[in-house]
A and B are shown apart, each in its own frame.
Chain A
Amino acid sequence: MIRLHKLNVLVLIMAMVATLFSVAAAQATPKAGGILRVAITGDPPGLDSTVTTSAITAEINNHITEMLYAFDGDGIVRPMLAAALPDISADGLTYTIRLRAGVMFHDGSLLDSGDVKASLERWHRLSYGKTVLKNLVAIDTPDALTVVIRLSAPVGILTSALGFDNYASGIYTSEQLAGAGDDPIAVPIGTGPYRLKEWIRGQSVVLERFSEYSARSEEPSGDAGRKNAWLDEIHFISVPDAATRQAGLESGEYDVNYRAAGEDYEYIESSSKMWPWMPPVGYNYTLLLNFNSPLIQNLKLRQAIQATLDMDAIALGAFGNEALYDLNPGVLPPGFGGMYTDAGKALYDQRNPELGRKLLEESGYDGTPIRWITTRDFSYQYAGTLIAVDQLEKIGLKSEVIVRDWATTVETRSKPDAWEIFVGNQISGPEPEMIAIINPGWVNAYNGSPEFADLMAELRVTADPAKRAELWAQAQEAYYEDVGSVRVSDTFLLVAYSAKVHVQARYIAFQAWNTWLE
C-alpha cells in the first residue's frame, strides 16, 4: 500500500487546485485567431446602416463603422469617436464635439471633422437625422478635431441619437460620401475593428481584422468601451432556413446561429455543445392599431380590447418559452437607459373579459369584423394574432384574419383603409423618440391624444434626464388611457453560440468584437 505523507497530500491538493485554476484561467483568457462563422437569416439589403432600418445591416455594419457615441450595456450613452460627451451650451442650441486624435479609417486616412460633418449632413438628409436635426442651423468645423452643431431649438436626445444604430449616423470618409451621393454606400470604409473583405451577394459577407484599429481604453460594455478584434475573420453566411442554421451549429458548420427558433431554447440551454443568448433590448410586441379605421377610432372599442386580452397567453403562444418574453407595462425596456416607467400599469394585461364585454357594449359595436393582417412568414405574428382573435371573439368582437406574405403585409399596412389590427414586433430603444410607433414620421405611428402629443412635443426639446423621465411617465400614462396600441410584452431574439465561442462583455446586440474562439 502506498502511504502518503501529510505534506505530500497537501502538495497534491495544491497542485490539483492550481490545475483547476489554470484551466479556468485558460478558458477565461482571450485568444487571438480563428474564423467565426455566423449563420444569418438572409442576404442583408446593404451594408450602409444610414439608409435602412434593417437589423442585420446594422449588426454587420457595427463592426465596420462607428458613431460619435455608443450605448453601454446599461443603455447609457458613452463617447466612441468623440473624445468625450459633448459640451452643450446653456440654451441647448450648440453642441461642441471634440474628436479623438489619430483614429484611422480602413483606407489609411485619419478621421477629421470634415468626415464627421459630411456624414452627419448625409444622415440629416437621408435618415433619422431628418427627424432629430429638424432644427439644424449648421454643422461647423472650427478645426480638424472639433465639430459644432448649431440648432434653432433644443433637441432632447441628440447625443443618444448620435449613438443609435437604427438609421445610424455612422461616420464615413468624406471622399466616399462624395462618391456615393444619396445612394447607399456599397463598400463602407469606416473606423471599426473589422473591415469588409468580401461580399458575395446572396451567400456571405466576410470581414477581416483591421490591425490599425484605434481602440478606446475604457472597459468594454455594450457597444461602448474597448473593442478587441481577436478573431481573424468573421463570416456572415446567409442561411434562410431556421432548421438548417440550427443543424449547422450542431454539426460544427457554423459557430453562431444568429436567429435560433424560440422552441429550441430549452434544448440549446441544456446542451453542453452550445449556449443561448438574448439581447437585453428586445422588441415591443404589440397590437398595432390603424387609427384611420372608424372602428379603431372608437375609444371604447380600443379599451375593450385592452381590457380583455391575456398577454401571457398571447406571448407564450407566440414565442413558445417564458424566457423569450417579459411581461411589463413599459413601452421602453427596463434596465436599459433611465426612461423605463410602469406608468399606466393598471391598464396593462388586465385579463378582464367581463369588463371587455361591457366596454364593447358601450362602444356601440355593430358586429363589423375587425380585419387583422398577418403573415405566416413570421410564426410569432401569426400565432399571436390567432390567440388574440380567439380571446376577443369570446366577448363578441368579430374578426377577419387576412394572411399574406410579408412584403404584401407591409404594403397592406401602409394602406389607411385596408386593416384594423396588426400583431408584431415594434422596434424598442432607450429613448421614446427612437420608438417608431410614436415617431410621427412613421407610416403607422400613433399620433396621439392632444395630451399625449403635447407631452411628446415638450419631451422632444427637453434634454434634462430627470425632467425627461417625468414627462415620459406622464406620456406613457396618457398612451395607455388613449390605448395608443395594445402592448403585449417585451420579446427577445434568441442567438445560439457554439460552446467554443467566448464573449467578454455584455452585448446589447450581436457583435463579434471582444469575442474569441477556443
Chain B
Amino acid sequence: MVAYLLRRLVSLLSILVVVGLVVFFLVRLVPGDPTSALLGENATAEQIGALRTRLGLDRSLLAQFGAWMESVARGDLGTSIYMRIPVVTAVIQRIEPTGMLALAATLVAVLLGVSLGVIAAIRHNTAVDYAVMVIAMLGLSLPTFWLGLLMIMLFAVTLQWLPAAGYVSILQEPVASLRYLLMPALALGFSQAAIIARMTRASVLDTLGEDYVRTAHSKGLAAARVVIGHALRNAILPIVTVIGLSIATLAGGVVVTETVFNIPGAGRLVIDSVLRRDYPVIQGSVLLVAFVYAFVNLLVDLSYAFFDPRVRYQ
C-alpha cells in the first residue's frame, strides 16, 4: 500500500511538472505582456523596459521557468503581476461565487429539467408535450449571455424585482445572496435543463410502456406514485449520466454568466488574467486545477480499498 502510494505521489508530481511546463511556455507563446495593462498604452519604451526588468520578464524563459518551479516547490504559486496579491489568495477569494453559481445552476437544471421531462412524457403527443419541447428547444438555442441580458432587462430594469448584477456572500447575507443568485442561476441552468428535459422525456417514455408500470397501474396505485416510484426510478440512469455531463458543460457557461451578471468568480479571474497576460495567475490557476483533479483521482482510487476489502494495492 505504501509503495503504491509513493508511486502515485511520484506520478502526481510528474503530472504537475508536465502541466506546469506546458502552461508556462504556452502562455508565453501568446504575444503581448503584462506591461501594457500595468503602464497604460502611452508608456515610454524606457518605462516598459524598466518594468519588464523589475518583473523579471527580461530574463531567459528557462531562468523564469526555473524560478517559478522553485517557488512552486516551496508551496508558493507566486504573486499576481496585476493585482499584487498571492495567486492562492486571488483564487480562494473567487471560489465561493463560482461554486455557489455552479451549484445553484445545477439545482435549477435538475429540478426544471426532470420536472418538465416527466410532464412531457406523461402528456405525450399533447399540447403540453409540444409546449415543453418548444421550451427545451429555446433553452438549447438561446445563448446564455443573451438570455441573461433579457432577464436583467425584465426583472431588474423593468420590474425591479431583482438586482441587475453583483454578488453577496451567502455567509454574510443569505437572503440577499439568493436574490443575487436567482437570475444568473436561471440563465445558466436553463440550457442544461433543456438537455435534461429531453433525455428525461425519452427515458420515462420508454419505461412508461413497460409491464411493471402497467402492473402498478392495475394494482390501483396513484398515478403520481407510479410515475415517480416506478417509471422515473427505472429511467434514472441515463438521466444521471446526462446530468453529470451537463455539469461539465456548465463550467464553460460560468465564465459568460459571471461576466454578464458581474459575479467576481474564478472564471472571470482567469479570463481577465489571460487578457492582461498576468502569467502567475494563469499558471497558478491551471496548476491548482490540475493538482485538485489528480489528487481527487488518487483519493478516489484509494477509497476503493476502503469500500471494497477485496481490493489490494501493490
Binding site for B on A (CB under 8 A): 42-43, 45-46, 51-55, 57, 126-127, 130-131, 166, 182-184, 186, 200-203, 237-241, 243-244, 247-248, 250-253, 377, 404-408, 410-412, 414, 426-427, 436, 439, 441-443
The number of residue pairs between A and B whose CB atoms lie closer than 8 Å in the complex comes to 142
Alpha-carbon separation in the docked complex, A408 to B33 (Å): 8
- Contact with A408, one of B32, B93, B153, B166 (Cβ below 8 angstroms): B32
* Distance in Å: Cβ of B50 to nearest Cβ of chain A: 8
Residue pair B164, A244 in contact (C-beta under 8 Å): yes
Residue pair B163, A253 in contact (C-beta under 8 Å): yes
Q: Which of B3-11, B16-24, B188-196, B272-280 contacts its partner?
A: B272-280
**B82, B166, B261, B262: most-surrounded residue (chain A CB, <10 A):** B262
Alpha-carbon separation in the docked complex, A436 to B48 (Å): 14
5 A–B contact pairs at CB < 8 A? A45-B39, A202-B83, A243-B152, A248-B166, A411-B31
Chain B residues with Cβ under 8 A from A51's Cβ? Answer: 39
Given contacts A201-B93, A244-B164, 16 further A-B contacts (CB under 8 A): A52-B43, A53-B39, A127-B47, A130-B44, A166-B42, A200-B93, A202-B83, A202-B93, A240-B259, A248-B166, A248-B262, A250-B157, A251-B156, A407-B36, A407-B275, A411-B33
Closest to A248 in B: B164
- Contact with A405, one of B32, B39, B262 (Cβ below 8 angstroms): B32
Chain A residues with Cβ under 8 A from B47's Cβ? Answer: 126-127
Alpha-carbon separation in the docked complex, A386 to B41 (Å): 22
Alpha-carbon separation in the docked complex, A250 to B153 (Å): 9
Residue pair A410, B44 in contact (C-beta under 8 Å): no
Chain B residues with Cβ under 8 A from A239's Cβ? Answer: 165, 262
* B85 interface hit (Cβ, 8 Å): yes
Alpha-carbon separation in the docked complex, A443 to B36 (Å): 12
Closest to B39 in A: A52
Pairs A-B, 3 closest by C-beta atoms: A53-B40, A407-B32, A441-B44
* Distance in Å: Cβ of A222 to nearest Cβ of chain B: 21
Alpha-carbon separation in the docked complex, A2 to B247 (Å): 75
Residue pair B164, A253 in contact (C-beta under 8 Å): yes
Residue pair B260, A405 in contact (C-beta under 8 Å): no
* B224 interface hit (Cβ, 8 Å): no
Q: Interface residues of B, CB < 8 Å — how many?
A: 48
* Distance in Å: Cβ of A168 to nearest Cβ of chain B: 12
Chain B residues with Cβ under 8 A from A441's Cβ? Answer: 44-46
Chain B residues with Cβ under 8 A from A247's Cβ? Answer: 149, 152-153, 156-157, 164-165
**Given A241-B262, A247-B153, are A45 and B163 also a contact pair (CB < 8 Å)?**
no
Chain A residues with Cβ under 8 A from B46's Cβ? Answer: 130, 441
Chain A residues with Cβ under 8 A from B160's Cβ? Answer: 251-252
Residue pair B164, A408 in contact (C-beta under 8 Å): no
Residue pair A412, B82 in contact (C-beta under 8 Å): no
Binding site for A on B (CB under 8 A): 30-33, 36-48, 50, 54, 80, 82-85, 90, 93-94, 149, 152-153, 156-157, 160, 163-166, 259-262, 264, 268-269, 272, 275-277
Chain A residues with Cβ under 8 A from B90's Cβ? Answer: 201-202
**Given A442-B42, A443-B44, are A182 and B54 also a contact pair (CB < 8 Å)?**
yes
Alpha-carbon separation in the docked complex, A443 to B31 (Å): 17
Alpha-carbon separation in the docked complex, A57 to B264 (Å): 20
Residue pair B277, A407 in contact (C-beta under 8 Å): yes
- Contact with A45, one of B38, B45, B50, B275 (Cβ below 8 angstroms): B38
Residue pair A45, B82 in contact (C-beta under 8 Å): yes
* Distance in Å: Cβ of A344 to nearest Cβ of chain B: 23
Residue pair A407, B44 in contact (C-beta under 8 Å): no
**Given A43-B272, A203-B264, are A410 and B36 also a contact pair (CB < 8 Å)?**
yes
* Distance in Å: Cβ of B187 to nearest Cβ of chain A: 12
Residue pair B85, A201 in contact (C-beta under 8 Å): yes
Residue pair A411, B39 in contact (C-beta under 8 Å): no
* Distance in Å: Cβ of A64 to nearest Cβ of chain B: 17
Chain A residues with Cβ under 8 A from B30's Cβ? Answer: 408
Chain B residues with Cβ under 8 A from A406's Cβ? Answer: 36, 275
Chain B residues with Cβ under 8 A from A439's Cβ? Answer: 44
Closest to B159 in A: A251
Chain B residues with Cβ under 8 A from A408's Cβ? Answer: 30-32
Alpha-carbon separation in the docked complex, A182 to B50 (Å): 10
- Contact with B166, one of A183, A253, A410 (Cβ below 8 angstroms): A253
**Given A45-B37, A244-B261, A247-B152, are A404 and B42 also a contact pair (CB < 8 Å)?**
no
* Distance in Å: Cβ of A249 to nearest Cβ of chain B: 9
Closest to B40 in A: A53
Alpha-carbon separation in the docked complex, A43 to B275 (Å): 13
Chain A residues with Cβ under 8 A from B38's Cβ? Answer: 45-46, 52
Alpha-carbon separation in the docked complex, A404 to B38 (Å): 19
**Given A247-B165, A251-B164, are A442 and B275 also a contact pair (CB < 8 Å)?**
no
Residue pair A412, B31 in contact (C-beta under 8 Å): yes
Closest to A239 in B: B262
**A127, A200, A240, A244: most-surrounded residue (chain B CB, <10 A):** A244
Chain B residues with Cβ under 8 A from A407's Cβ? Answer: 31-33, 36-37, 275-277
* Distance in Å: Cβ of A127 to nearest Cβ of chain B: 8
Alpha-carbon separation in the docked complex, A52 to B39 (Å): 4
Chain A residues with Cβ under 8 A from B164's Cβ? Answer: 244, 247-248, 250-251, 253
Alpha-carbon separation in the docked complex, A500 to B142 (Å): 36
- Contact with B264, one of A54, A184, A202, A250 (Cβ below 8 angstroms): A202
Chain A residues with Cβ under 8 A from B94's Cβ? Answer: 202
Closest to B167 in A: A203
Residue pair B36, A244 in contact (C-beta under 8 Å): no
Closest to A249 in B: B164
Chain A residues with Cβ under 8 A from B260's Cβ? Answer: 241, 243-244
* Distance in Å: Cβ of A228 to nearest Cβ of chain B: 29
Alpha-carbon separation in the docked complex, A265 to B5 (Å): 64
Alpha-carbon separation in the docked complex, A42 to B82 (Å): 12
Chain A residues with Cβ under 8 A from B272's Cβ? Answer: 42-43, 202, 240
Closest to B269 in A: A202
- Contact with B83, one of A43, A377, A427 (Cβ below 8 angstroms): A43
Chain A residues with Cβ under 8 A from B48's Cβ? Answer: 414, 443
Alpha-carbon separation in the docked complex, A57 to B260 (Å): 24
**A252, A412, A439: most-surrounded residue (chain B CB, <10 A):** A252
* Distance in Å: Cβ of B281 to nearest Cβ of chain A: 10
Chain B residues with Cβ under 8 A from A43's Cβ? Answer: 82-83, 272
Alpha-carbon separation in the docked complex, A377 to B36 (Å): 14
Closest to B37 in A: A45
**B157, B272, B276: most-surrounded residue (chain A CB, <10 A):** B157
Alpha-carbon separation in the docked complex, A30 to B160 (Å): 28
**B41, B54, B85, B272: most-surrounded residue (chain A CB, <10 A):** B41
